[in-house]
Amino acid sequence: MPVDPAAPITITAFDWVPDFAKGQVRDLRVRWALEEVGQPYAVRLLPQGAQKQPPHRARQPFGQVPTLEDGDLTLFESGAIVWHIAERFPGLMPQAPSARAMQLEWAFAALNTLEPPLMDHAMATLFEAEEPWSAPRLPGILARIDERLQAASDRLGTADWFGGDFGPGDLLMVSVLRMADGMLAPYPNLAAYVARGTARDAFGRALDDHIAGFTGAPPPEYLDWERRMSDQP
């Protein structure tokens, strides 16, 4: 469904991020879930810095995106939002209790087991690359990533999806594994798994609208950071 300013559901997203972050900000996960269940949504676009101000912190106490407002309910954390959408609307959550439990298992695996070392890698190679502790940490981070990718690859085997049929757990697994771009070559079944997920029509529509929202300008502090990074050897 297209973005609709009159929709009863509203999400928050940034109006600008660096090029390397486009397609990775977590509002994309929420947009994808809404597309899978056919629900239109409005978007409140935030300029960089507004997420740390009191109006947004009333929605998200840690000053992050995304959030979701659905009637009287306001939620933060992309995993919780995706799960709420899957439970609230038909089309994404399996009905059998055992299948729902498997989806929840893989939702936790995505966010608690796979995403943390991938975020550590992003911190060491992008956000904190100029810090003296980043380079010494990188070999250990890469070793943890490889260990977890190998375990995920072994468990997936020749199956199409981790959770049986595609559901919220797989949506989150695909979203997280997209962060490992360039690291999946040794794991062709995981690369094919991500390709299957991102080939879904709902993902394509969500990505298009996610990218279209970046209409803002970079804050001065980002330009300063970019200049410092360009001076790194």
In tens, the pLDDT along 107-147 reads 999 999 999 999 999 988 888 878 888 888 999 999 999 99
177-232 per-position pLDDT tens digit = 999 988 999 999 999 999 999 999 999 999 999 999 999 988 877 656 555 545 55
Cβ–Cβ under 8 Å, residues 79 and 111: yes
CA distance 231 to 225: 10
Same domain for 123 and 37: no
Q: Considering the domain boundaries, does residue 3 fall inside one?
A: no
Same domain for 181 and 102: yes
153-166 per-position pLDDT tens digit = 999 999 999 988 99
Same domain for 169 and 106: yes
Same domain for 101 and 58: no
Q: Considering the domain boundaries, does residue 40 fall inside one?
A: yes
Same domain for 189 and 119: yes
**Burial of 89: CB neighbours in 10 Å, binned 0-12, 13-18, 19+:** middle
| Residue 140: alpha-carbon gap to chain centroid | 24
Same domain for 83 and 15: yes
Predicted TM-score (pTM) of the model is 0.93
Q: Considering the domain boundaries, does residue 231 fall inside one?
A: no
Same domain for 82 and 114: no
Q: Considering the domain boundaries, does residue 41 fall inside one?
A: yes
Block residue for tokens 């990188």: 138
CA distance 142 to 189: 19
Strand 42-46 to 9-14 pairing: parallel
Same domain for 195 and 208: no
Tally the residues of the chain.
Answer: 233
Same domain for 87 and 101: no
- pLDDT > 70: what percent of the chain? 94
State the pLDDT at residue 150: 98
Q: Which residues pair with 67 in a beta bridge?
A: 76
Average pLDDT over residues 5-10: 96
Contacts of 31 (CB under 8 A, 6+ apart): 11, 41, 206, 207, 209, 210
CA distance 168 to 103: 6
Under DSSP, the state recorded for 162 is: T
Domain harbouring 189, CATH code:
1.20.1050.10
State the pLDDT at residue 1: 67
Block residue for tokens 């790194």: 232
Whether the pLDDT of residue 176 is over 50: the answer is: yes
Same domain for 117 and 81: no
Q: Considering the domain boundaries, does residue 172 fall inside one?
A: yes
CA distance 194 to 158: 13
Q: Considering the domain boundaries, does residue 194 fall inside one?
A: yes
**Number of structural domains, the chain?**
2
Q: Which residues pair with 43 in a beta bridge?
A: 11
CA distance 216 to 98: 44
Q: Which two tokens stand for residue 60?
A: 């998200």
State the pLDDT at residue 227: 53
Same domain for 118 and 73: no
Q: Considering the domain boundaries, does residue 232 fall inside one?
A: no
State the pLDDT at residue 162: 95
Cβ–Cβ under 8 Å, residues 93 and 44: no
State the pLDDT at residue 229: 47
Half-sphere exposure of 154 (CA within 13 A, CB side): 6
Domain harbouring 28, CATH code:
3.40.30.10
Per the prediction, the chain carries an average pLDDT of 93
Q: Considering the domain boundaries, does residue 214 fall inside one?
A: yes
Same domain for 173 and 109: yes
Average pLDDT over residues 53-63: 97
CA distance 208 to 203: 9
Q: For 37-51, b where at least 16 C-beta lie within 10 A, e where not — what string?
A: bebebebbbbebebb
Q: Which two tokens stand for residue 225?
A: 């950071």
Q: Which domain holds residue 75?
A: 9-91+203-223
